[in-house]
């Protein structure tokens, strides 16, 4: 047991995670002018937020803190790279690696499985065996809208209930199977490169997760798995198009199959990245395709 675990991780086992997150969600949506302006201005100072890139740069113009936190950016603030795969969010690439069979590495001595991450869907998990993963951590100061990493069609969405541990480096290093035990949304897409899974992982104080097609998913925090099937709907999204939002910091995980966008595993980590910046360069994708096709 070390001090990082004692002071940063142990308290999370003891506090009512969902109750605190519901309280944060309630507070973040209060429209009392003095209260929401105090919260917004304090947050801007604490995290040195650059409001010049916001579509609405006046912090007092937002009706509530949550509207500010999930603020839109000015057109062109996040150029979308001409690449086969771009970052779906601002943040830090905390991990990029090959998937060893069906085993993913969270941190030293902490493994978890595709089946656990994907809500027990064994058939779907098999599509990503020996594939690649990238984990992007969003801190509170980051832009918190999630965008499409490549052109694709939405196939289904699954809400998996779970814990709400923080997803900072200390917790990732000490909480076993963190990403497979926290609440999450699993978004399944079909793309020109094959299946792609994008997982939005909740965390403590993430008072809300939502998508552009279904609206707010949490809260309330449900006790059972929920599934939405979109096979019969024509839900196509272009690379860089908005697909969802977080309230407060969290994590996005991308999974790709074996021999499809394989250089994803070779990304430098940790490394800061912005939404729309390339996760893969065009020549990397073409080399992989040519190699696997020969």
Domain boundaries, the chain: 12-69, 85-293
**pLDDT value, residue 182:** 85
CA distance 44 to 134: 29
Burial 237-263 (b: 16+ CB within 10 A, else e): bebbeebbbbbbbbbbbbbbbebbbbb
Q: Strand 250-256 relative to strand 194-201: parallel, antiparallel, unpaired?
A: antiparallel
- Residue 69 in contact with residue 207, Cβ under 8 Å? no
**pLDDT value, residue 55:** 96
**pLDDT value, residue 294:** 35
Phi and psi at 96, nearest 5°, equal: -145, 125
Pick out the chain residues at pLDDT < 70: 1-18, 106-110, 168, 170, 174, 205-207, 249, 281-294
Q: Is 90 a known active-site residue?
A: yes
**Active-site choice (102, 144, 147, 193):** 147
CA distance 45 to 184: 30
Q: Is 147 a known active-site residue?
A: yes
**pLDDT value, residue 71:** 94
**Active-site choice (21, 25, 90, 285):** 90
Q: Is 42 a known active-site residue?
A: no
CA distance 184 to 3: 28
């Amino acid at each position: 047991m070390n001090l990082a675990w004692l002071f940063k991780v142990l308290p999370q086992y003891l506090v009512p995670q969902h109750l605190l997150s519901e309280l944060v969600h309630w507070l973040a949506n209060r429209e009392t002018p003095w209260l929401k302006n105090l919260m917004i201005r304090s947050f801007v100072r604490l995290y040195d937020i650059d409001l010049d890139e916001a579509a609405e740069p006046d912090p007092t113009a937002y009706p509530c803190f949550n509207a500010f936190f999930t603020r839109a950016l000015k057109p062109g603030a996040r150029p979308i790279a001409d690449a086969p795969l771009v970052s779906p969010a601002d943040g830090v690439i905390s991990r990029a690696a090959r998937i060893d069979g069906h085993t993913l590495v969270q941190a030293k001595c902490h493994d978890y499985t595709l089946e656990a991450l994907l809500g027990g869907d064994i058939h779907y998990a098999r599509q990503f065996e020996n594939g690649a993963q990238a984990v992007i951590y969003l801190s509170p100061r980051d832009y918190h809208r999630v965008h499409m990493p490549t052109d694709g069609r939405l196939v289904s969405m699954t809400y998996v209930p779970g814990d709400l541990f923080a997803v900072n480096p200390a917790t990732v290093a000490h909480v076993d199977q963190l990403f497979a035990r926290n609440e999450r949304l699993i978004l399944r897409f079909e793309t020109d490169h094959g299946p792609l899974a994008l997982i939005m992982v909740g965390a403590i104080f993430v008072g809300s997760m939502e998508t552009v097609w279904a609206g707010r998913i949490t809260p309330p925090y449900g006790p059972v798995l929920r599934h939405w099937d979109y096979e019969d709907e024509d839900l196509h999204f272009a690379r860089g198009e908005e697909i969802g939002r977080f309230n407060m910091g969290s994590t996005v995980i991308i999974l790709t199959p074996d021999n499809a966008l394989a250089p994803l595993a070779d990304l430098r980590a940790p490394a800061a990245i912005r939404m729309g910046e390339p996760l893969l360069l065009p020549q990397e994708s073409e080399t992989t395709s040519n190699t696997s096709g020969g």
